[in-house]
Amino acid sequence: MLLPLTNTPRPYAWGSTTLLARLQGREPTGRPEAELWFGAHPGAPSTVADGTGRTLDRWLADQSRGESVPLPYLLKLLAIAHPLSIQAHPSKEQAAAGFAREEAAGIPRDAPERSYRDDNHKPELIVAVSETFRALVGLREVAATRRLLDALGDAPGVRAVRDRLAEGGAAPGALPRSLVPWLLSAAAAEAVADVRRALRDARSDEFHRELELARRLVEELPADPGIVVALLMNLVVLERGEGLFVPAGMLHAYVDGLGVEVMAASDNVLRGGFTGKHVDVAELGAVLDPAAGPVEIVRPVRRAGAVGDVADYPVPVADFALARVRAEFGAPAQLHPRGTAIALAVAGEVTLAQGASAERLRPGRALLVTSDDRPLRVSGAGEVFVAQPGG
């Protein structure tokens, strides 16, 4: 069965006023449109366009005679004009413990100061749909960060950050676990101010992109200590179709661009800057993975034996899987989704068919694909991402 899904863009302040509208071929609203959710997550479930007005979570429950059958994943379009918060997500075990702790403390689940809104982990995969997509992901290799800090000069605050970076006790290839929490604390305020001032005149051929971004961040968020945390992170520029996998504990902040994101269905986010939301420095420090080094880009792998152009993004989790399907006139593609899937078009115009059911799909539109032994056929000329439970 194929069912169209609809939703309303989330108006977060970091969202673009044009990227989603341009993708969907409509006039911009003039307001930020940050995220478009396709899934059954209770925070903003999609509506099933079958004439009943039901949201997808209700539809799935009705299909299973009232039993709760949550999707293990959430598919999104992200349209980013300004950086998202610097953040990390807990592991499954950390999420379960944190959720139980806050439940026992009686903190309402929708309270702004709540860190754990459920007991699930939140690994995620982001794939660039715009020609480029910039992200700060993971902690940069220590020696390289020393070279970047050297480019900032020798102000007392810069020296203090360098000294903290050189503290003993860190595992090989890792940053001291105390460094990020210290930068986000009041104790580092003078050091952070010195680094911000040093950025104005800093020059480096090796790190010119990082310094340019940091100066932009100073203009947008002049008092935010996350600017110095960002200087510890890898700046990654994805080309269209390339992806990044973010496991538990990895510090990240998406900077700008349009992307398709699929994640485990969770709201657990520990923030560390670039945000007006709750920042729990101690808990961020507890879940943060201090390992430092380059981040691997996830590229699509052509599916062996597939009919047409079908490629998978390999990720080491069971919550979700993502495939990219490209069809051309006269060269349709075909795949067998696993479990309940969601297909999202990002380019061209395609027709999805399964048995006698067929639906046309344009960019920025999505379909629910229910579990079926029959293959899903994609024809026309365009590009579709298909999210489904992992293997």
Q: Which residues are catalytic, by number?
A: 271
- DSSP H helical ranges for 249-387: 281-287
CA distance 370 to 260: 21
Which segments of the chain are extended strands (E)?
A: 2-6, 35-38, 47-48, 73-80, 87-88, 124-128, 132-139, 233-239, 243-246, 252-264, 270-271, 297-298, 301-302, 309-313, 321-327, 333-335, 341-354, 357-361, 366-369, 376-388
Count Cα neighbours of 332 within 13 Å in the Cβ-side half-sphere. 12
Q: 81: buried, middle or exposed (CB in 10 Å: 19+, 13-18, 0-12)? A: middle
How does DSSP classify residue 70?
Answer: -
Residue with tokens 């990227």: 19
Q: 285: buried, middle or exposed (CB in 10 Å: 19+, 13-18, 0-12)? A: buried
DSSP result, 126-195: EEE-SSEEEEEEEEPPHHHHHHHHHTT---HHHHHHHHHHT-TTPPTTB--TTHHHHHTSGGGHHHHHHH
CA distance 235 to 252: 10
- Cβ-based neighbours of 298, under 8 Å, separated by 6 or more: 125, 127, 242, 243, 244, 245, 313, 314, 315
**What Rg do the C-alpha atoms of the chain give, in angstroms?**
22
How does DSSP classify residue 10?
Answer: B
